[in-house]
Amino acid sequence: MAGIKEIAKITGLSLATVSRVFNDSSLVSPKTKEKVLKAAKDLDYRPNIMAAALRSGKSKIIGVIVPEVNNYFFSGIINGIEKIVSDSGYNIIISQSHELQERENVALNSFLKLHVEGILMSISKETSDFSFIEKIGESKVPIVYFDRVPPLDGTSSVTLNDYMGGFMATKHLLDKNCKNLLHIAGNPRVSIFKERLKGFKDAILKSGRKGILSREIELTAHTKKDLKILKELFKSDPKIDGIFAYGDEIGLHVLNLLKDLDIDVPGKVKLIGFGNADFTKLTQPKISTIDQECSQMGELAAGLLIEKLKEVELKPQNKVLLPKLIKRDSTMIQ
C-alpha cells in the first residue's frame, strides 16, 4: 500500500498534482494523469480518507439510523440507500436504535463525533423528546428522515402516505363485502400508525354504506397478554368478518389466532396487513397487505440528502410515496 507521497516520488511530480488527479482531475494534463494512475495501480495506492477528511472537513461518511435492521422494510430501505450512495463516493455507516430513544441518541452522538457529512434516519417508536434535532441543527449536519418523521416543520423527509394505505386496505375489505370491521391499531404516538387508523375510519365513512360496524383495538406490544385479549375479543364477537392489522407481524399473529379458534380465513374472516413483509407470501393463506416500496424510499431519501450535500442552501423537501395494495389469499372471495 502506498500514499500520495510515494506516487509523487516515483512520477517525479508534486504532491499537489498527484492529489489533483484523484480529485478535480480536469486541471491536469491527460499525460500526467495517466502516469499518476499507472503508478497508483502499480503501488496499490489507497487514499487515506482520514487525512482527506481532516484537511477538507469532509468525511465522506453518511450515517444511517434505523430502528431495526432485521426487518424487511428497513433492510429494503438500506438497500435503496446503498444503491444511490455507492457510486457517489460516500460510505455509509448503519446504527440501530432498537426502538430506544437512548440508543438513538448514542448513535447520533457517535455520528457527530465521526463527523458524518449527513444523516438518514427513521425515528424510534419510543422517541418523544425531539431536542436532539436542535443539536443536529447546530452542528449543521443535514438530515433527511424517512418513514417515521418528527412532528416538526422545516425538516426534509420521505414518507409513505400511510393514511392512503389505511384507506386502501379498509376499502379492499369493504369491497370484499365485509360488514363488521376491526382495526388492530399501533401506538398512536407514532404518526404512521395514527394515519393508518385515520385511513381506516375515513374509508368506512366515505364508502357511504349503511350498516357497517367498525371498531379499533390498540395493540402495541405483541405479548401473550395482548394476544389473549384479542382472542377473547374474537370469541365474544363472532360477527367480525374483516380485520385490518396495522402491521404484517401482528397480522400473522392474528392469522394464527384465528386458526386456533377454527375460524376460516378468508372464508369467515378476511385479513389484511401492512408492510408486505417477506413472510406474508409464505403463510397459508398468503396474507394480503400494503406494499411500501421500501427500496424506493431509501433511494429517494439518499438522493435528497446527497442533493443537500451538494447544495447547502437547499430548502427542506418532503416527498410522499403512494402505497400499493397487494391482494392475496387472505382476502380472496371464497
Binding site residues, DNA, CB under 7 A: 3-5, 12-17, 19-20, 22-23, 27-29, 31-32, 47-48, 51-52, 54-57
Of 282, 314, 320, 322, the residue at the interface with its own copies (CB under 8 A) is 282
223 lines the binding site for its own copies (CB under 8 A):
no
Contact characters 127-166, its own copies, x per CB under 8 A = -----------xx---------------------------
Residue with cell 503501488: 43
Q: Cα separation of 299 and 301, whole Å?
A: 6
16 lines the binding site for its own copies (CB under 8 A):
no
Of 51, 217, 229, 314, the residue at the interface with its own copies (CB under 8 A) is 51
By beta-carbon proximity to its own copies, the closer residue of 176 and 253 is: 253
Of 17, 19, 59, 159, the residue at the interface with its own copies (CB under 8 A) is 59
70 lines the binding site for its own copies (CB under 8 A):
yes
Q: How far is the CB of 91 from DNA (least distance, A)?
A: 15
By beta-carbon proximity to its own copies, the closer residue of 200 and 274 is: 274
SS3 assignment, position 120: strand
Closest residue by Cα to residue 48 from 90, 87, 2, 14: 2
In the 3-class helix/strand/coil scheme, how is 202-236 assigned residue by residue?
HHHHHHCCCCCEEEEEECCCCCHHHHHHHHHHHHH
SS3 assignment, position 85: helix
By beta-carbon proximity to its own copies, the closer residue of 138 and 153 is: 138
Q: Quick one: what does residue 279 bind among DNA, its own copies, none, with the CB cut-off 5 to 8 Å set by partner type?
A: its own copies
Closest residue by Cα to residue 101 from 123, 118, 119, 116: 123
Residue with cell 443535514: 142
DSSP notation for 29-46: -HHHHHHHHHHHHHTTB-
Give the burial string for 83-95 (b: 16+ CB within 10 Å, else e): ebbeeeebebebb
Q: How far is the CB of 44 from DNA (least distance, A)?
A: 12
Closest residue by Cα to residue 111 from 128, 132, 130: 132
By beta-carbon proximity to its own copies, the closer residue of 25 and 284 is: 284
46 lines the binding site for its own copies (CB under 8 A):
yes
- Contact by Cβ (8 Å): 157, 123: no
Q: Which residues are 324's β-sheet partners?
A: 291
69 lines the binding site for its own copies (CB under 8 A):
yes
Residues lying near its own copies in the complex (CB under 8 A) are found at 1, 46-51, 53-54, 59, 68-72, 75-76, 78-79, 82, 86, 91-94, 96, 106, 110, 112-115, 138-139, 252-253, 256, 259, 278-279, 282-284
